[in-house]
């Protein structure tokens, strides 16, 4: 199986798992950690371009699990995290990873945040090294083994 097919299959599998848990993923900590994760993946290469911002925003808006929250609220939080990363990526990443870590108290939510990172990263069929690296860092922030997510 080609690498692209494996990435796509993994992202689809993660999305199916998330959808099955949709009713359990309604806390503010999950919402904030998910948007922080999306921002990290979007800015993984250290740059935040308009096309990437739009692409990830569309993925957020179309994600069934995230429909538990008002779209405008998600958009605002996503943009705030992206702006922190765009202003100073390394410093911003520390703060954004702290937001991700808020989901650590509930293991199901913590895993779901990582799954969202994988879904967002793999949505274009190219879950690149920089994206995998920030998702791995998020695993450490949440106390989860990256191997559990094939990272």
**Rounded to whole angstroms, what are the CA distances from 149 to 31, 51, 97, 112?**
20, 27, 18, 11
| Cα gap 40→140, rounded to integer Å | 14
pLDDT digits (tens, 9 = 90+) for 91-127: 999 999 999 999 999 999 999 999 999 888 887 777 8
- The residues, any chain, with a CB within 8 Å of residue 54's CB and separated by 6 or more, are none
Q: pLDDT > 70: what percent of the chain?
A: 84
Q: What is the mean pLDDT of residues 53-69?
A: 84
CB 7 within 8 A of CB 127: yes
pLDDT digits (tens, 9 = 90+) for 3-41: 445 545 555 655 566 555 655 678 899 999 999 999 999
């Amino acid at each position: 199986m080609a690498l692209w097919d494996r990435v796509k299959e993994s992202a689809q599998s993660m999305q199916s798992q998330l959808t099955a848990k949709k009713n359990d993923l309604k806390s503010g900590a999950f919402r904030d950690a998910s948007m922080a994760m999306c921002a990290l993946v979007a800015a993984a290469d250290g740059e935040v371009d308009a096309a990437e911002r739009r692409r990830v925003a569309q993925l957020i808006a179309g994600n069934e699990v995230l429909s538990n929250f008002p779209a405008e609220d998600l958009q605002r939080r996503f943009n705030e995290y992206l702006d922190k990363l765009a202003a100073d990526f390394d410093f911003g990443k520390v703060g954004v990873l702290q937001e991700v870590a808020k989901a650590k108290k509930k293991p199901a939510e913590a895993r779901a945040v990582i799954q969202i990172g994988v879904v967002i990263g793999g949505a274009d069929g190219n879950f690149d090294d920089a994206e995998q690296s920030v998702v791995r860092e998020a695993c450490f922030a949440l106390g989860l083994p990256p191997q559990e997510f094939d990272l």
